[in-house]
A and B are shown apart, each in its own frame.
Chain A
Amino acid sequence: MREKKELSYLDSVHRDGKIWSFTLLALIFLFPLLLCVIFQAVPNWSALGKGLIATVPMYWAVGLIEVITYVPMLGAGGTYLSFVTGNISNLKLPVALDAMEKAEVKSNSEEGEIISTIAIATSSIVTTIIVIIGVILIIPLTPILENPVLDPAFAQMLPALFGGLGVVFVSKNWKLAIAPIILMLILFVTIPALNAGTVGIMVPVGVVFTIIVARIMYKKGLL
């Protein structure tokens, strides 16, 4: 009986998630179309073509990789929310990980699904509201936020985030963490092409490598 009930919650999340995703997909796609109609503007087809050729191959490949990599980590509700509001690796996933860690729930349980959804939904709401407030107060806020003194702080957000998060996860699984950290250090230090723009591509590399290492260590009884 209980098993059946749990399935139905997850199934309803998938059903509603699909409806929301398609609705927002339509709205996001309609936006440029509406502006074309309202301002009677036609895109410049050759510039549009060139722009798309330069953008789509890279970012659609990243999109495919992201869906496959992040869905298992975000859970169902978290996925439907995160792929609408974005900022997955630098905000939504760390928020969900931290919340599941503190609530002491496993990401593959229904409790994990619930906590991850609550964390990501809260984070999306707070982000959206802060940006709304910022847009309303844009004139008084501009000189503060664009103060060059603060530039280095915003530039170093990712190292500051993953320093703290790294301590939590590495200390709990240090045996398993050694190999992937060494691999990534070597790759990022020796290959100059790996930088902020390409770190997203290295995430699935790190994930697959760590799973393989984990499997070997598990089979050998090292974990």
Chain B
Amino acid sequence: MTFDVNHPIIYIIVSIIIATVLAQSFYFLIRAYRRALAKGMDKSVLKKTIISSAVFTIAPAISILVGVLSLSKSLGVAVPWLRLSVIGSLSYEMIAANNAMSGFGETLGKEVTDPGIFVTILWVMTIGILLGLILTPLLTKKIQNGMIKLEKSDAKWREIFNNAMFLGMISAFLGFVFCDVYRLWSSENGIFTTIEKNDQGIEEVVQYTSTSGLVPVLVMIVSALIMVLCGVLMKKLKWKWLNDYALPISMVLGMASAIPITAWLGGVIA
């Protein structure tokens, strides 16, 4: 068959795999839902969980779609569609694809026309991130059993342990928000110069405004303030429904605030 990055046969195979992914999600959703009803859990709680999880997912899902678009220029639509619907992320797939291309002494930019190059990229993308999916069926039960043993000791410590895990994760991401603040004192004349790999994997000199590192910090503060405001409104005005949407509202408004904040504090200098 003559190769083309958008050949219908690639779409057909990808559709089958994605249908299986969807089937797995529906299977576990129905299993958990039935188990919840059997245990006598409140139906309205389950319904709220589904609705607020769905609403919360919309903005991140659109950003995944943007990733499909940016990869589609070199790999067609079908492959990025599969790769970003299963394990991996845009940054990983970009890095993996560029690592494969550098083996040819080329870069990812225009559409791939050679089937040999195409399958080489695909193999690197697939194998490079496979370990998580290999390990989960082998280790999940063992890790959970270990946790159960650990937790049996003391009920209060068990709860603290859980909170500590989540706080540890959140604190890493809160720290990450500040990762470019150092541009403030590492700049010359308000310009921070660095070398970065671009989308094609080529190293190039990039210049940022010295204040650009404050953009994520301010976005985080906006989002946090909106969350606080939601909490106040829920208490004062008894707007209980807001509870289900507080997180997506603060996230989307935070993202929207990034547009004027970036215009104000600057980002990349062309």
Q: Contact: A126 with B49, CB < 8 Å? A: no
Q: Which A residues are in CB contact (< 8 Å) with B151?
A: 108
In the bound assembly, the distance between CA atoms of A131 and B69 in angstroms comes to: 10
User: Which residue in A52, A67, A83, A93 is a CB contact (below 8 Å) of B169?
Assistant: A93
Q: Which B residues are in CB contact (< 8 Å) with A166?
A: 170, 173-174, 220, 224
Q: Which A residues are in CB contact (< 8 Å) with B208?
A: none
User: Which residue in B52, B168, B216 is a CB contact (below 8 Å) of A98?
Assistant: B52
Where chain A touches its partner, the secondary structure class is helix
Question: B191 near A: Cβ within 8 Å?
Answer: no
A94-148: which residues lie under 8 A (CB-CB) from chain B? 94-95, 97-99, 102-103, 106-108, 110-111, 113-115, 117-132, 134-135, 138, 141-142, 145-146
Known contacts A41-B3, A48-B100, A159-B216, A181 near B133 by CB under 8 Å: no
User: Which residue in B104, B123, B162 is a CB contact (below 8 Å) of A107?
Assistant: B162
A147-182: which residues lie under 8 A (CB-CB) from chain B? 149-150, 152-170, 172-173, 176-177, 180-181
Question: A4 near B: Cβ within 8 Å?
Answer: no
Known contacts A103-B49, A122-B54, A176-B164, A165 near B119 by CB under 8 Å: no
Q: Which B residues are in CB contact (< 8 Å) with A205?
A: 172
Q: Contact: A165 with B167, CB < 8 Å? A: no
Q: Contact: B157 with A218, CB < 8 Å? A: yes
Q: How far is the CB of B209 from chain A (nearest CB, A)?
A: 13
B73-92: which residues lie under 8 A (CB-CB) from chain A? 77, 81-82, 84-89, 91-92
Q: Contact: A48 with B56, CB < 8 Å? A: no
Q: Contact: B137 with A32, CB < 8 Å? A: no
In the bound assembly, the distance between CA atoms of A184 and B171 in angstroms comes to: 6
* Total of A-B residue pairs, C-beta within 8 Å: 538
Q: Contact: B102 with A50, CB < 8 Å? A: yes
A179-199: which residues lie under 8 A (CB-CB) from chain B? 180-181, 183-185, 187-190, 192, 194-197, 199
Q: Contact: B135 with A121, CB < 8 Å? A: no
Where chain B touches its partner, the secondary structure class is helix
Q: Contact: A156 with B254, CB < 8 Å? A: yes
Q: Contact: B159 with A207, CB < 8 Å? A: no
Q: Which A residues are in CB contact (< 8 Å) with B122?
A: 31-32, 35
In the bound assembly, the distance between CA atoms of A44 and B263 in angstroms comes to: 45
Q: How far is the CB of B105 from chain A (nearest CB, A)?
A: 9
Most A Cβ at <10 Å: residue of B45, B77, B267: B45
Q: Which A residues are in CB contact (< 8 Å) with B59?
A: 157
Q: How far is the CB of A22 from chain B (nearest CB, A)?
A: 6
Q: Contact: A80 with B89, CB < 8 Å? A: no
Q: Contact: B258 with A206, CB < 8 Å? A: no
Q: Contact: B227 with A209, CB < 8 Å? A: no
In the bound assembly, the distance between CA atoms of A41 and B62 in angstroms comes to: 33
B128-150: which residues lie under 8 A (CB-CB) from chain A? 128-137, 139-141, 143-144, 147
Q: Contact: A202 with B175, CB < 8 Å? A: yes
Q: Contact: B87 with A86, CB < 8 Å? A: yes
Q: Which A residues are in CB contact (< 8 Å) with B71?
A: none
Question: B127 near A: Cβ within 8 Å?
Answer: yes
10 intermolecular pairs with C-beta atoms under 8 Å apart:
A28-B126, A29-B130, A39-B1, A52-B128, A114-B32, A123-B56, A125-B26, A158-B216, A167-B224, A192-B182
Known contacts A122-B50, A163-B254; 13 additional CB pairs below 8 A are A21-B133, A22-B137, A41-B119, A47-B117, A47-B120, A108-B147, A108-B162, A118-B50, A119-B49, A156-B219, A176-B160, A183-B171, A195-B179
